[in-house]
Amino acid sequence: MYSIEEKFCILLGERLVSAKKFYNILNNFETVTEVIENFATDSAIAQILGEDYQKLVNDWTQGGADDIIADMQRNNVVAITCFSDDFPQNLSYIDDKPYVLFCQGDVSLLNSECMAVIGTRKASVYGRKVAKDFTAVLSEQFTIVSGLAYGIDSIAHESALEHDGKTIAVLGSGVLHIYPTSNKSLAEKIVANGGLIVSEYGLREYPAPYHFPHRNRIVSGLSHGLLVCQAPLKSGTNSTVELALEQGKDIFAVPGEIYDMGFSGNNKLIKSMQGACVTSPRDIIDYYHLDAHQVEKQTYQFTIEEQTIVNVLAENGQMTFDQLYLATQIPLAELNFLLANLELRSIIAKLPGNVYRMYGDI
């Protein structure tokens, strides 16, 4: 059952009253009880809500909140409001915090240890590999938070699920109107496997351009840190980074080739020292002083070429790039790519002098 305060939040949230307007209303009164008691008659509330005021008053007095709750129950949706005991603590401290979150799935994840994994919708092969391999390891320690968009977001969610991790998808549309529509099956899979989809927008609200940069404050707000897998200079990823910096979150960025504009955002973060350069998910685990023994050893599946590299390093110990080339006979460009992938997966480590060794026992 929802309290009258929670029902008030649910109604206003479903009718798309912004968080800014909601908290402006609260600031005019001592308590939310006074807001509710004066809702139908107060001129200050009417001024804040503008042309929507009378319709909202009618909805509230005619039991509109109960109708919304009944719809939620039919669709296995629950609402967490700023008056709920399980409202996420991390969101309590951010500017423009949401006052209601419509959720499908395990709402306890809102108060779990979270890490955001984000990046461009137009991900390269390398960027996709970064997202997949980093998430595979990080999902053993964190709930992975992302935005269910194409590209890096989708890969992060999928990788977390593939490795039996938990993931939260923060939507720019209603939880009953999944966007992009091609990710509807992914959203269903997230919920079915103990994850969570969440939105501050009405249940069936269509996506709008301004929804996505606005929801990014929730992606960063829920998380201890933010991993930027791939981002050009101008992208939605940068808005999330800016919000995370304002919120005092940790920023981690994977370096990219200097001539690849798809990684210009990553490299700028590193160069400006706004983001910590990470070349392995273990860098992040070490940063938080997490017990390495808690990270379960994975079963790795190698390509023939990767297995060749692993076998040569296991047999010979440390080897330079040139020595590996002579020993494996793998073409130079392909060898460089394979070594980068193995390093990202924390299978091998790169030492000064272009020297490589096994990271540890496989």
Same-domain status, 49 and 148: no
Same-domain status, 173 and 284: yes
Same-domain status, 39 and 137: no
Domain assignment present for 288: yes
DSSP of 157-198: HHHHHHTT--EEEE-SS-TTS-SSGGGHHHHHHHHHTT-EEE
Same-domain status, 190 and 124: yes
CATH number for 264: 3.40.50.450
Domain assignment present for 159: yes
Write out the two tokens for 31.
């308590």
Domain assignment present for 118: yes
Domain assignment present for 95: no
CATH number for 314: 1.10.10.10
Same-domain status, 127 and 258: yes
Write out the two tokens for 130.
């970064």
Q: Examine the fold and report which residue of 294, 315, 338 is the final residue of a domain before the chain moves on.
A: 294
Give bridge partners of residue 104 from the DSSP assignment.
Answer: 197
Domain assignment present for 94: no
Domain of residue 334, residue span:
304-358
What pLDDT does 300 receive?
65
Same-domain status, 281 and 331: no
199 and 173 Cβ atoms separated by less than 8 Å: yes
Q: Examine the fold and report which residue of 245, 264, 294 is the final residue of a domain before the chain moves on.
A: 294
Q: pLDDT tens across 133-159, in order? A: 999 999 999 999 999 999 999 999 999
Domain assignment present for 226: yes
Same-domain status, 285 and 147: yes
52 and 15 Cβ atoms separated by less than 8 Å: yes
Count the domains in the chain. 3
Same-domain status, 171 and 55: no
Same-domain status, 319 and 275: no
List C-alpha distances in Å: 98 to 21, 192, 352: 11, 25, 47
What pLDDT does 120 receive?
95
Write out the two tokens for 269.
């973060």
Q: pTM of the predicted model, to two decimals?
A: 0.81
Helices then strands (H, E): number in the chain? 17, 12
What pLDDT does 293 receive?
44
Same-domain status, 66 and 180: no
Domain assignment present for 90: no
Query: One-letter amino acid identity for 274?
Result: Q
Radius of gyration (C-alpha) of the chain in whole angstroms: 23
List C-alpha distances in Å: 333 to 24, 304, 339: 58, 16, 10
Give bridge partners of residue 253 from the DSSP assignment.
Answer: 228, 277
Give bridge partners of residue 199 from the DSSP assignment.
Answer: 102
Query: How many CB atoms lie under 10 A from the CB of residue 338?
Result: 20
Same-domain status, 21 and 56: yes
Same-domain status, 136 and 270: yes
In angstroms, the CA 198 to CA 173 distance is: 9
Domain assignment present for 91: no
Q: pLDDT tens across 6-32, in order? A: 999 999 999 999 999 999 999 999 899
Query: Comparing C-alpha atoms, which of 141, 138, 194, 145 is closest to residue 171?
Result: 145
Q: Examine the fold and report which residue of 242, 265, 294 is the final residue of a domain before the chain moves on.
A: 294
Q: What is the mean pLDDT of each run of 10 residues along the chain (362 residues)?
A: 95 96 94 94 95 96 96 98 93 92 97 96 94 95 97 97 97 97 97 98 94 95 96 89 94 92 94 93 89 50 89 88 93 90 81 78 44
The upper half-sphere exposure of residue 355, i.e. CA atoms within 13 Å in the direction of its Cβ, equals: 8
